[in-house]
Structure formats: C-alpha cells, structure tokens
Amino acid sequence: MIPSQVMSTPTGTPTPAPNPTPKTAPVTMDKLVSLCKRRGFVFPSSEIYGGFNGVWDYGPLGTELRSNLKQAWWRDFVHMREDVVGLDSGILASPRVWEASGHLKNFTDPMVECRSCNARYRADQIDLSKNCANCGKKDWSEIRQFNTMFKTFVGPVEDSASVAYLRPETCQAIFTNFKLVQGAMRKKLPFGIAQIGKAFRNEITTGNFIFRLREFEQMELEYFVRPGEDERAFETWLEHDVNWLVKYGVRREKLHLYEHPDEDRSFYSKRTVDIEYDFPFGRSELWGLANRTDYDLTQHSKSSGEELEYFEEETKEHVVPYVIEPSLGVDRLMLTVMLEAYEEQPDKDGIRTVMHFHPRLAPVKVAVLPLVKKDGALVKKSRQIFDALRGELTVQYDETSTVGRRYRRQDEIGTPWCVTVDGQTLEDNTVTVRDRDSMEQLRFPAESLLDEFQRRLREPWSRP
C-alpha cells in the first residue's frame, strides 16, 4: 500500500477540512437512479425500445454537471499548469495503432459462460465454486479471453482490409501525436498532454448504473518524464489526484489506494495504483494511475519506423521518456460526485433531499424566484435580474407554486443559491439570497449579485 503521507494535504493547495459523515440514512443506488431520472440527470438509453445495455443518456442537468466536471478537470490539469497542453484526437484511428500498442492481442477480459442458461460473466468477477446467479445451476464453460475492443468497418466494403476499432482508451493518440505536439508547442521534459473524450469497451457484463458502461468518457493525462524521474512523478500525481477529488467534495475517508501486486499489473506497467471509492455496491476503482514506462513510445516507434524520442539540447542526448498516466472516467466521477452530494434531511414537512454539489460543479448556479407570481411588478423585476445573470452563470427562473416548494426543487438539483424577489425589492432594489447548505438568507443589492456569485464561485468550498 501507499504510505499514509500520500493522503496528507499538499503544500500550496488549499484543501478543505475532512467533512463529517452525514447523520442521515445512507444514499442507495435506487434513490440516486430515481432522482437522476426524475430530475433530468441520467436516462436509460433507448428506453422507449426497452433499453440498451451499457449505455445511458445524459439529460439536461446531467449534461451541465458533466460539462462542469470536465471544465474543472481541464482547468486544474491543463490551464493552471505551464507543463501540460491539450489534444482532441479521433475516436477512429489506423488499426496499426492497436496492433502496436498490444491491444489487439492483450486487451481482453476472461469470459466464462453458464452452459445451462448461456449467461456470460467476467471470470475474475464471480466465484466459480458457486452456482450461476441467473439459473442457479453449476455448469461452467472453459474460461476464454474475450477482446473488448469494438470492431467496425471503414468505407463501403466490409472486408478484413477495412476493419477499424473504436478506441478503448483515449491515450494512444497522445503517444502517436507525441512528436507533433512536442514540436509544435516546444515543450521541454517533463511535460504532459491531456485529453478528454469518448472511449468504448465491449464489456462482458455492464451494470451499477453509470459505473461500468460500454460507451463512456475518459479524462487522461500522459505525463512524460526523464527515465529515473518516473517514481517521484508517480507519487506527486497520486497525491495531486487524491487532493483534487477532496477539493471537489469527495470525502477523504471514502477514498482508498489499491496498489496492484506484480502478478496483476498490466504487462507494460511498472507500477499501478487505483484510487478506489466506497460505492454503495462495494469498494471499486474510480481513477487509475499507471507508470507506463517507455513502453508505448517504444512500441509505436518500432512499429511505425518514426523515432518517438526527445532530444535534450543541453546534453545532446536522445531519450525515450517514461510516462505517468492518471486516467479517470467522467461517468464514474459523476457517479461519485452525485453519491457524495446526496443527502436526505428530515424537516418539518417530511424529508428535504439536497444535493450538496461543489458550487462550481452544480448544474444550475442560481434560481431567480419572484415571491408571488400574480404581482406583475415583481415578475418584471425578477425577469430583469434573471436576464442580467444568464449568459454569465447557469440560471433558472421559476414562478410556479409556493416559494418553499421552489426551494425544495432547487435543493434537489443542487442549486447553491436562490434569489427571492419580494415587495421590499421594489422599494430598495435588494433581494434575498438563500444558501442551499446553511439555508441562511441574506439581503443583497440586486446590482451586486453577479459580483457576489462570482466571488463565491472562486472561494474554496467544503461539504457541510
């Protein structure tokens, strides 16, 4: 295991104090799935046709949340760093990429089939001494390796010469573009190339909502270092990544580091650590960190005939850099962030469900609510405030039902601030700002709202 100091606060990064575990009932997957569907975060794919396994569609609020997660990652992994640049490569690529990287041969999972009911399982995820969970019998087939890359054909003829693959990870194009990016951006070692994009894996079994998908999205960074500097870079990124999760509201005590033993590691990896999270269905990988050595650059170099090296001006040496790779799934991060945010608080009217998203991640930042809908002047003033904020922030306007119900609706989607426009607003141009977490209400001049919210969005935040 990793030494415990890895979990300590890094210098220079403000990290909120560990959050107390909420005293209310723990969130279940059923509750979260139901909220996600009801409030427009996540929908089952092709539901009107009975669904489609391993794919989910993101609704209006899910789309905003994902976009905020990706922006937060890009901000901290690319924009805030002078040593990292971005890339956006194709999902399709020459099949020679996958031959060179070893995916055609090795990107496999062990599959076992129940001979009685034909249900298929990943052999490393079930106990083969037990009976089939589907039919209750015990008649297992031989275990065979199943390649999980999706195959397709490029061009009008479906023959072996036109076979191509949907990328099962985003990083290979970072290796094939290594020289081009390094040359164009004149980067010196150590430096990183980051990419966010879709990846596809024909998983044998899918499930646990958006945890294991066949179509998903990854945020990957390949950090190139001089050989010999790889072990220290690995430690630095591990600490950085754990702290990044905590900064965005994931409780430290729910995160665990799993060091892959030698016999379980991918053949190319010198060291692999999974950052695991305590999901309701068990502790599982959220974020993988691997020391991929110089394996990928060397393979692509051999296979293509192009030198994928770095030239050290100072020493006049050619080096093949080592690569440290933090690889995070957007969908798993979204699931984690939603599970962390969910809270049910008993109150006088029953249960108040509130999503404590970090304000920068919240799909809607501000809701503007006229106290009463029938008052034309209040509605007009509220629309003016709404118009002044939208475009700058994600804002909703809501005038239906009682203000208490409207607060509840916003709490359930995690809107950090509600602006209520009332009679006093028409007299002195002040409004009430209600805070989602503390439920405190303070009055502010309407013209100061945008500055106030932008100031709050820049501040560190910790889950109540």
Smaller CB distance to ligand ATP: residue 41 or 453? 41
Q: Which one of residues 19, 101, 218, 269 is an interface residue with ligand ATP (CB under 6 A)?
A: 218
Asked whether 417 and 433 are in contact (CB, 8 A), the reply is yes
Pure H helices in 107-171: none
Taking the CA atoms of residue 86, residue 90, residue 91 and residue 92 in that order, the dihedral angle to the nearest 10 degrees is: -150
| Min CB(286)–ligand ATP separation in Å | 6
Smallest separation, CB 225 to ligand ATP (Å): 20
| The CA-based dihedral angle spanning residues 6, 10, 11, 17, taken in that order and rounded to the nearest 10 degrees | -120
Stretch that binds ligand ATP, among 3-11, 246-254, 323-331, 349-357 (CB under 6 A): 323-331
Q: Could you tell me the smallest distance in angstroms from the CB atom of residue 340 to ligand ATP?
A: 16
Which parts of 282-301 interact with ligand ATP (CB under 6 A)? 285-288
Three-state DSSP at 2 gives coil
Q: Residue 164 and residue 95: Cα distance in Å, rounded?
A: 5
Among 197, 329, 363, 416, binds ligand ATP (CB under 6 A): 329
Per-residue DSSP letter, 150: P
Tell me which of 42, 78, 213, 367 binds ligand ATP, using CB under 6 A.
213
Q: What is the CA radius of gyration of the chain?
A: 25
Nearest one of 81, 83, 331, 357 to 219, comparing CA atoms: 331
Q: How far is the CB of 254 from ligand ATP (least distance, A)?
A: 15
Which residue has its beta carbon closest to ligand ATP? 329
What is the smallest separation between the CB atom of 330 and ligand ATP, expressed in angstroms? 8
Closer to ligand ATP by Cβ: residue 212 or 434: 212
132, two tokens: 């089939």
Count of residues interacting with ligand ATP (CB under 6 A): 16
Q: Which is nearer to ligand ATP, 95 or 288 (CB)?
A: 288
Name which position in 66, 271, 300, 332 contacts ligand ATP (CB under 6 A). Answer: 332
Q: In this complex, which beta carbon is closest to ligand ATP, that of residue 291 or of residue 327?
A: 327
Residues 79-108: x where in contact with ligand ATP by CB under 6 A, - otherwise, as a string: ------------------------------
Binding of residue 216 to ligand ATP (CB under 6 A): yes
Q: Rounded CA gap, 198 and 431, in Å?
A: 43
212 binds ligand ATP (CB under 6 A): yes
Between residues 282 and 376, which has the closer beta carbon with respect to ligand ATP?
282
Segment 148 to 207, residues that bind ligand ATP, using CB under 6 A:
169, 201, 203
HSE on the CB side for 447, CA within 13 Å?
A: 2
Question: Dmax over Cα atoms in the chain, in whole Å?
Answer: 79
Alpha carbon 464 to its chain's center: 22
Joined tokens for residue 415 = 């809107």
Q: Shortest approach of ligand ATP to residue 327 CB, angstroms?
A: 4
Q: CA 263, 267, 271, 277 torsion: positive or negative? A: negative
Supply the minimum distance, in Å, between the C-beta of residue 133 and ligand ATP.
19
Near ligand ATP by CB under 6 A: residue from 36, 328, 341, 413: 328
Angstrom distance (rounded) from CA 270 to CA 293: 7
**DSSP letter string, 35-86:** HHHHTTSEEETTGGGT--TT-EEE-HHHHHHHHHHHHHHHIIIIIT-TTEEE
Would you say how long the chain is, in residues?
464
Nearer to ligand ATP, 266 or 304 (CB): 266
Tokens 């303070």 belong to 442
Which range of residues in 41-49, 158-166, 329-337, 412-420 is near ligand ATP by CB under 6 A?
329-337
* Binding residues for ligand ATP (CB under 6 A): 169, 201, 203, 212-213, 216, 218, 285-288, 327-329, 331-332
